[in-house]
Chains A and B, each alone.
Chain A
């Protein structure tokens, strides 16, 4: 009876410990931008999710995934410009081509764009740096909207 109790306690402890550990790890990676991520998640759900899906995995042949791609994880200016100007070219990611157009989202506020991109760059297994409102503001000021 006792043996079983001890064993159970030990097991429970192991589970809790590993759970706690994972939780702490998560929090450290996201430190400093937790609020931005939380706001970005809402923007994502309203604007991006319908095409890029809840898991950021996109849709085969049509809507590109937002994971494991330099479009998302690389140059911040280029990424901000995609949100501002949309995207009207075929894009190849890991050997797959995606060809749906993305509409421009320049109607979003600088803070919203910063939030949603920070969320995307830190979700779905992505671990890239946050994007600030100031960075979006700069890119928008220098941005020339493409001809329709």
Chain B
């Protein structure tokens, strides 16, 4: 009888212990699932590992033939704006670090490492092992670029003719704060475009460069396509269609529109910001509501159309043309796009946070894009709320043809490989 009473009293305790053990087992199971492929979901035959972790806000990166990884960190704590990791056996060790500035852009071309902060582009001479010879004395190639609180990162790309391309983002959503009377957006002369500079001439200002293409709200992912010798850029589309024009756009339209656009640029092209936006559901370039648009009126045809379009607010932060031999044939010369993930879809669930593959043929997008790597955000709840654990940003191709992806939230570097 006594024993029975004790047992009765203890039962809830047992139950709680049981629950704890049960939950522990459950989360252990989940960890086991999550650690496979570093938590990513990939097409058959592909696998992923995290080769680095907790680097800070890891933006763009390059990988050298000697397996050194240069990764640019957004903020330079202790003069460590650029980290150099050495990879061996799918693990990395910190080899060295330099640069007293944070930033996004980083690239290697013809024996130099190029890196940008929000106002300048520097370059560093490399030795024959692609190591920076003098990390404390870079050449300042471009200086004095505008950086005004919004869309500051100066992402960069280089062509094969000694030119450097720099994004100068618009410091505005749709220019209405600078163009209240709709006389023409006044900030387009020095922002919202891609500028071209010489890659070897020091101390270039705006006047030394060319406004290569304009009407681009903000570009973070850009790359030179070697197949047709052309610059491709990913534009971050405007925000808040419903918030600003509730009579013209539903909450759902505002979440899906405008498209995030891929443009193939030629010198002198105008992509039309802030006057136009692209509707991927209607497949049309439309007049922006600030300038008389209503969600149906077409844009002036003088503005170029995108070559491919993606759902709204996905935030493309990295673009890479795959030229390796490791992945299956269909990936060759196609584009990978790192989507940082949305914030301007609320109250609808946030989306993006993935790496997309865009098939190409003869230097042009060919066929529908597909999600290549997903799962960066974490649980469906973390993704929907926008509280993503990891956010894809930079892309690079390794010497063996593996794909590297940075995450600028937790500072993880993923390496994605294919095995037949």
Contacts and interface: CB of A to CB of B under 8 A. Distances in A.
B409 to A, nearest CB: 8
A108 B315 CA distance: 31
Interface in B231-255: 240, 242-243
Contact of A59 (B15, B180, B343): B343
Contact of B385 (A6, A11, A55): A55
B149 A54 contact: no
Interface in B338-359: 343-344, 346-347
A4 interface: yes
A129 interface: no
Interface string B242-282: 11000000000000000000000000000000000000000
A7 B240 contact: no
Contacts of B129: none
A93 interface: no
A14 B149 contact: no
B368 interface: no
Interface residues of B, number: 22
Interface stretch (B6-14, B95-103, B294-302, B303-311): B6-14
B149 A10 contact: no
Nearest to B150: A99
A69 interface: no
Contacts of A90: 149
A94 to B, nearest CB: 15
A3 B11 contact: yes
A49 B149 CA distance: 22
B244 to A, nearest CB: 9
A100 B150 CA distance: 7
A64 B343 CA distance: 13
A145 interface: no
A4 B387 CA distance: 42
Contacts of A45: 347
Interface in B120-162: 149-150
A57 B177 CA distance: 26
A70 interface: no
A11 B4 CA distance: 17
Interface in B311-362: 343-344, 346-347
Interface in A10-28: 10-11, 14
Interface in B1-47: 4, 7-8, 11-12, 14-15
A100 B240 CA distance: 13
A67 interface: no
Contact of A10 (B12, B243, B347, B386): B12
A50 B149 contact: no
Contact of B347 (A11, A50, A63, A99): A50
A94 B265 CA distance: 41
Contacts of A54: 346-347, 385
A45 B246 CA distance: 14
Contacts of A62: 343
A101 B149 CA distance: 9
B12 A11 contact: yes
B154 to A, nearest CB: 16
Nearest to A52: B346
A73 interface: no
Contact of A7 (B15, B386, B409): B15
Nearest to A47: B243
Contacts of B243: 50
Nearest to A89: B149
Nearest to A63: B343
A3 B386 contact: no
Contacts of A43: none
Nearest to B74: A61
B11 A50 contact: no
A7 B387 CA distance: 39
B95 to A, nearest CB: 28
Contacts of B8: 3, 6-7, 10
Given A51-B343, A99-B149, 10 more contacts: A4-B11, A10-B12, A11-B11, A50-B242, A50-B347, A53-B386, A54-B346, A55-B385, A55-B387, A99-B150
Interface of B: 4, 7-8, 11-12, 14-15, 149-150, 177, 180, 240, 242-243, 343-344, 346-347, 385-387, 409
Interface of A: 3-4, 6-8, 10-11, 14, 45, 49-51, 53-55, 57, 59-60, 62-63, 90, 99-101, 148
13 contacts: A3-B7, A4-B11, A6-B11, A7-B12, A11-B12, A45-B347, A49-B346, A50-B242, A55-B385, A59-B343, A90-B149, A101-B150, A148-B180
Q: Which 6 A-B pairs have the closest CB atoms?
A: A7-B11, A99-B149, A59-B343, A6-B8, A11-B12, A10-B12
